[in-house]
Homo-oligomer: A and B are copies of this chain.
């Protein structure tokens, strides 16, 4: 099976019009020796029925857990039915970037509305139409900070998601910036003393995440003040985006960039992607931030409409002087987030609160087990780190009961051996938590 409508007869007529005898003649510019003489070594075609059966078998080789206890940057939330019904409309998913505004008002207005909701959630003045994911959003904010200030030092809270730190370091390496990690205090929050010591005039930005990787809510305000005090910028990340429903917006607390992963807003876990990089900032960076921006304007008859705007920031206009290289983004994931936020509305606060309740119940329940105790006393959202007798055996017991295990902190934090990170969203039933506590006893 393939998707080529041309029949042999069509091809002949077209070759005639072009004035060639054989399709081969279309490839004269390719040196003869490089033209493939045989078919590629790719399996033969399949009918739709066969590919469907084949792919169903592959999917069935994965094990779908009865409940997910993993958070660690990706969160299992309920997705209202409307979300998929909207993003499955082919007017949206088969279109590309809205270069032609007059036939793209649908997505342009949706972007404008999304930008608005994100600025409100983050306490900022501008949000772009998406980055690749939370990690690249953070990395680009860091690079942009350094380029803007002409400084080359980045201070990263060690409590930032390990993979985010890794991505930031890769981008920093490519640009010759130094990265310094700031440890976390006993509370689980960033060690502001250590931060103060490390801040210097070469420091472009301080990067934190709240809730951080351990689920602990950071106090962003003093950190922003510290950074600004040494002429550095504050990049504030977050883990689970639903936490924005109750936490003080980092923008209000003084962050210059608010970045993070928007997967929680209506996007399935999808084994890691596609996700949604959220990047928001202050008016000061309106003309500097990377990515697409939709702006309101009017048409020739004065009717309100929307266009992609401030494109002189972008690669297709400024080339090597662009503020980023991003072109394709995660528009459809952004649309899912917009629909998700529209359908939750003020209920997002209720949902976030429910997450807090679930996590606190679960944490207390497990902390009561012999040998189990919280790693950090700090306030948590829906994720928490515990010290336990044996992470591996705990996880294998969970897995054999059909749950996922927790995240083994020793993977990335040798200093936290015996630490396990667990998450409880609205999807985890009390019944399961009690059940789990029982089987971990």
Q: Say whether A85 faces chain B, with CB atoms less than 8 Å apart.
A: yes
Taken together, the copies of this chain in the complex come to 2
Report B-chain residues with C-beta under 8 Å of the C-beta of A88.
88
Instruction: Say yes or no: B426 contacts A78, CB within 8 Å.
Output: no
Size class of the A contact interface (CB-based, 8 Å): 10 to 19
State in angstroms the CA–CA spacing of A96 and B90 once bound together: 22
Report B-chain residues with C-beta under 8 Å of the C-beta of A80.
48
Cβ proximity bits A84-124 to B, threshold 8 Å, 1 near / 0 not: 01001110000000000000000000000000000000000
Report B-chain residues with C-beta under 8 Å of the C-beta of A427.
49
Report B-chain residues with C-beta under 8 Å of the C-beta of A49.
78, 426-427
State in angstroms the CA–CA spacing of A80 and B47 once bound together: 10
Instruction: Say yes or no: B81 contacts A90, CB within 8 Å.
Output: no
A420 to chain B, nearest CB (A): 26
Report B-chain residues with C-beta under 8 Å of the C-beta of A89.
89
A336 to chain B, nearest CB (A): 16
Cβ proximity bits A410-441 to B, threshold 8 Å, 1 near / 0 not: 00000000000000001100000000000000
State in angstroms the CA–CA spacing of A274 and B92 once bound together: 30
**Closest partner residue, chain B, to A81 (CB atom):** B48
Instruction: Say yes or no: B78 contacts A48, CB within 8 Å.
Output: yes
State in angstroms the CA–CA spacing of A85 and B52 once bound together: 15
State in angstroms the CA–CA spacing of A182 and B127 once bound together: 76
Report B-chain residues with C-beta under 8 Å of the C-beta of A78.
48-49, 52
**Closest partner residue, chain B, to A82 (CB atom):** B48
Cβ proximity bits A56-96 to B, threshold 8 Å, 1 near / 0 not: 00000000000000000000001011000100111000000
State in angstroms the CA–CA spacing of A52 and B80 once bound together: 10
State in angstroms the CA–CA spacing of A270 and B80 once bound together: 24
**Closest partner residue, chain B, to A88 (CB atom):** B88
State in angstroms the CA–CA spacing of A306 and B52 once bound together: 37
Report B-chain residues with C-beta under 8 Å of the C-beta of A90.
85
A355 to chain B, nearest CB (A): 13
Of the candidates A49, A426, A427, the one having the most CB atoms from chain B within 10 angstroms of its own CB is A49
**Closest partner residue, chain B, to A90 (CB atom):** B85
**Closest partner residue, chain B, to A78 (CB atom):** B49
A43 to chain B, nearest CB (A): 18
Report B-chain residues with C-beta under 8 Å of the C-beta of A85.
90
State in angstroms the CA–CA spacing of A187 and B49 once bound together: 35
A221 to chain B, nearest CB (A): 34
A91 to chain B, nearest CB (A): 10
State in angstroms the CA–CA spacing of A426 and B47 once bound together: 12
Of the candidates A78, A81, A85, A426, the one having the most CB atoms from chain B within 10 angstroms of its own CB is A78
A14 to chain B, nearest CB (A): 23
State in angstroms the CA–CA spacing of A88 and B90 once bound together: 11
**Closest partner residue, chain B, to A50 (CB atom):** B78
State in angstroms the CA–CA spacing of A90 and B427 once bound together: 29
Report B-chain residues with C-beta under 8 Å of the C-beta of A426.
49
Report B-chain residues with C-beta under 8 Å of the C-beta of A81.
48, 52
State in angstroms the CA–CA spacing of A78 and B52 once bound together: 10
A134 to chain B, nearest CB (A): 24
State in angstroms the CA–CA spacing of A426 and B85 once bound together: 31
A437 to chain B, nearest CB (A): 21
State in angstroms the CA–CA spacing of A52 and B84 once bound together: 14
A-B contacts besides A48-B80, A49-B427, A89-B89, 7 pairs, CB < 8 Å: A48-B78, A49-B78, A49-B426, A52-B78, A52-B81, A85-B90, A88-B88
A-B contact pairs, 6 of them (CB 8 A): A48-B78, A48-B80, A49-B426, A49-B427, A85-B90, A89-B89
8 closest residue pairs by CB, A with B: A49-B78, A48-B80, A48-B81, A49-B426, A88-B88, A48-B78, A52-B78, A85-B90
